[in-house]
Chains A and B, each alone.
Chain A
Amino acid sequence: MLDVQNLSMTIMIEDAAVPILRDVSLQVAAGESIGLVGESGSGKSMTLRSILRIEPENATVSGRITLDGLDVHSLRGEALRRMRATDVAMIAQNPHAVLNPVLPVERYLIEGMHDAQGVPRRQARLRAGELLEQVGIERIDLVLGSYPHQLSGGMLQRVVIAGAIAGEPKLLLADEPTTALDVTTQAEVMAILDECRRELGMAMLFVTHDLDLAASVCDRINVMKDGEIVERGVPEQLRDHPEHPYTRVLMESRPATVMWASNREAEVAHD
């Protein structure tokens, strides 16, 4: 469904062309979840931004990105807006940058559905409540009427997920959606994101620096370094037989921690 072919990008910095992406190719089939894992500067977020055509202004991009056969770089004006509004949804790291601080969060959900899909406002309001239920929020009316500053980061990120799944897009683009959250909140939000995606059959491109986190929700993973994909494979394959030295370094930087959990899992498997 999503096909990225030989995507390259350079950015002019003080008269020098700095390569950001080199020949990045990847495919996401309908309903599939694909991980893009790398450290800062690896180009993982830029790859994601290219898909939405929100790359920096001084960037030169080559290569081909197609979404259901449609060349994303040929889209202009209304067609581009429609693609961004209906086919794809993005979840960013910081929900405060997404939500308008002076409007209650229900406005974010309602306007999204009304503008993008033409859902009448009254109906959108009902649907907003259902969506919040879907992302595991209990006090729905309270949350709907709250302003962003009144809610925790985990709660806000759930609101953003609710907004993202509202239009049932074909593809979710998630850029480090849980990096700013506490670890216990991260686990809950990841579980919710994964459940919603599966139930609705949406594909996902999941960008993260955390290989284990990507492995928990992705069918296949691409490891990026310095603007290139250096290795790709299913999570188990990367974990047990990493081929590229960089993948190995990534794995070894965070030793298989948390003895209790692994012990307990071993016990459970034993029983």
Chain B
Amino acid sequence: MATPEDRAPEDIAIVAVAQTEAHARYDGPEVVLIMEVVNRLLAEADLERGDVGFTIAGSCDYLGGMPFAFVSNVDGMGAWPPVYESHLEMDGAWALFEAWLRLQMGDIDVAMVVGSGKSSPCNAREVFHLQADPYVVAPLGLDPDAMAGIQARALIDAGRATEADIADVVVRSRAAAMTNPNAQVAGEVSVDSLLAAPYDMAPLRAHDVSPKADGAAGVLLARRDRARELTDTPVWITGLDHRIESHHAGLRDLTDSASTRLAATGAGVAAGPIDVAELHVTHAHEEIILRDALGLDETTVVNPSGGPLAGDPVMATGLTRIIEVARRIAGGDADRGVGHAASGAALQQNLLCVMEGGG
């Protein structure tokens, strides 16, 4: 475990986190969800918006069917006073990656990151098949849920999991979510009762797929000296890596996550014990693949928030994984952990953020 003296001036910490609840349907503007998060972040760090040197948002215009929605979303980030700002058509976890890179330039010391989405106006399955190859896959409408069904089948056929193992992921997620005030789905269920439900994308059932939600999440990042001014409990980002696999599913081994293994090496996951891991599991079987690829054993608490299976505010879900780990480190419940974000079908893209406390 690193000591405070080990931190270099260019080290970057999370100094504040905020998230809305996962609304099954939020009727107001997405901007207000963002505003709620931004105002809470600034209040927690006792900052004005003008103290932030860079803002970045992750969202998806397709979800609300509104071209350039990301521009009006700047209203929530705070367009005044002027600031260097950026946007990614990706989950907020990737926005955090860009902000982390931006801070390393050294000319600014505080950055704000938000991920937000309102997926309730559409059927997200009818949007995200567009992430697939536009010539040979997307016109089939082969969406992430269908691709997850294929991946789960491959996992079962390979003898790596049973339908009961997959249901067990749901049981644990819903039980863990009972202490998460932002969760959408929580409660005690049994493997047997889940297995009695009909198939949706066989071998997956409806409860194996994350419930889509409207919501937003955000973090404030700061360089070392500023971070220590802003909080007594900075959460240091000690490793951040993102890897992508081929969009040609036939070239991938769907029973493994090669990109997660590479990202884990790059981010230094194995350099110390992982007390807590929050994994971007939008289909229950993915937890089994990710635990294996990350080399996690029973000493790691996985998805203590319930994870995305308890609430999936699309475009904020990956960033929320990082937030849930950071909150536990700042609160003293964990010393070191990893937040994981995924994008694309069948875990095509994986991002890992390793965090430590220690002042």
Do A and B interact?
A: no
Which chain A residues have a beta carbon within 8 Å of chain B's beta carbons? none
